[in-house]
Structure 1
């Protein structure tokens, strides 16, 4: 049967595939719309299989927060090239996954992949996009925060995203954004020193002791000197104790206290591509 331009456009809108791919799929399916969609999906599976060993190190990292600011999510969709990552449709696809994460509040990445979007799972959408784009596409990261107040920040370029949860709301949103940008810029390892894992502490102490040992410090003094280095590490690498980037005369903890003496950060998530 004759394939019209309207048929091609309808299939293109439904799948995101190129004009020629849509026309070929409709031709192969003898004009059957559902059959053409299935052909495009199968192509995606084939391309995904062929490119499974490729490295998808580029992509988009987006943070999204619910309307009531009680729940936030970071979603990362990877691809092979920066050219694809900067494509508006690719960014919109990632944004649609993030929106579904806010709606569905999945427990983990597998839960996000299982959520339905337009009658198909997000995992199926990813496979289809692999066929449409011709690159390895991978939904690689999902994280969430639930708190009394959650803020998200996306650094220009969509390569870095953060989420920060606070113990209360009712304060200026710019304050929350300042802290989210602090997390983006300074990459803290934990909220406060009590949140740093013992594994990290032990590693920092061992690095410090070895450093001072190489400098010829007496063995009996190493533990005490290393403790001083650990305290410096806490100051530089835990969010609340870091110097506030917009005013390094105060810490982030001091900045929050100047807004509300009881205001603090409960948790944060930071994801950066190619770091």
Structure 2
């Protein structure tokens, strides 16, 4: 006989994962009330669900904008879904807002995902890393392993979907989108984005404004 799960416990799991109420209740029953295990199981199911929807066409959506306090940094991002009905849902609009704020807070991010990074950029980064003095005298196999690790880290820094979500660093932006795909039942994709920074070109200004955004979000 399934164990009894309180409605509050189910609600907490739903808020954390974005899964449906019945799915959350079932996950908690299957994990015998183990919250972390239930989260893990739902994420696995959510990711599988998102993967099945990934090939669907996304011709609807919204263009979200975010202007940081002081009007010195701004973001525009296009988030696509399958239907206008989902595009008008408050959850979809909240997701779009969160992604826009994430972009504002991540000055190193230049591409939607790692797959979008041009091959010539990857080759250039590999060439630079292979020539660095701290590994030049190491065995070839070791050098390649070190470079591979550094390149993966660099590409992740450039990729929006690889970023830890600023409101919950335990998940990435990709995880956040997959949770919303599971919640809303449609494919959701970040199409493109652009960041505007007053006096762009100053690295000090970039760091200053990204810290301001992060601090504002935490407050």
User: In structure 1, what is the Cα distance between the partners aligned to 2:77 and 2:30?
Assistant: 36
Number of matched residues?
Answer: 149
Q: Which has the higher strand share?
A: 1
Q: Which has the higher helix share?
A: 2
Q: State the SS of the aligned residue for 1:7.
A: helix
Instruction: Please report the TM-score for the alignment, with normalisation by the length of structure 2.
Output: 0.63
Partner of 2:161: 113
User: 2:18–2:182: 8 Å Cα contact kept in structure 1?
Assistant: no
Partner of 2:40: 38
User: In structure 2, what is the Cα distance between the partners aligned to 1:77 and 1:36?
Assistant: 29
User: In structure 1, what is the Cα distance between the partners aligned to 2:163 and 2:26?
Assistant: 30
Q: For residue 16 of structure 1, report the CA deviation from its aligned partner.
A: 2.2
Q: For residue 87 of structure 1, report the CA deviation from its aligned partner.
A: 0.5
Q: For residue 134 of structure 1, report the CA deviation from its aligned partner.
A: 1.6
- Greater relative contact order: 1 or 2 (C-alpha under 8 angstroms, separation 6 or more)? 2
Q: For residue 85 of structure 1, report the CA deviation from its aligned partner.
A: 0.8
Of 169, 178, 194, 1:143 maps to: 194
Q: For residue 63 of structure 1, report the CA deviation from its aligned partner.
A: 1.0
**Unpaired stretches in structure 1, ≥5 consecutive residues:** 150-275
User: 1:41–1:131: 8 Å Cα contact kept in structure 2?
Assistant: no
Instruction: Please report the TM-score for the alignment, with normalisation by the length of structure 1.
Output: 0.51
Q: For residue 120 of structure 1, report the CA deviation from its aligned partner.
A: 0.9
User: In structure 2, what is the Cα distance between the partners aligned to 1:29 and 1:44?
Assistant: 16
User: 1:40–1:128: 8 Å Cα contact kept in structure 2?
Assistant: no
User: 2:5–2:33: 8 Å Cα contact kept in structure 1?
Assistant: yes
Q: For residue 147 of structure 1, report the CA deviation from its aligned partner.
A: 2.7
Q: Which protein has the larger Cα radius of gyration, Structure 1 or Structure 2?
A: 1
Q: State the SS of the aligned residue for 2:57.
A: coil
Partner of 1:70: 72
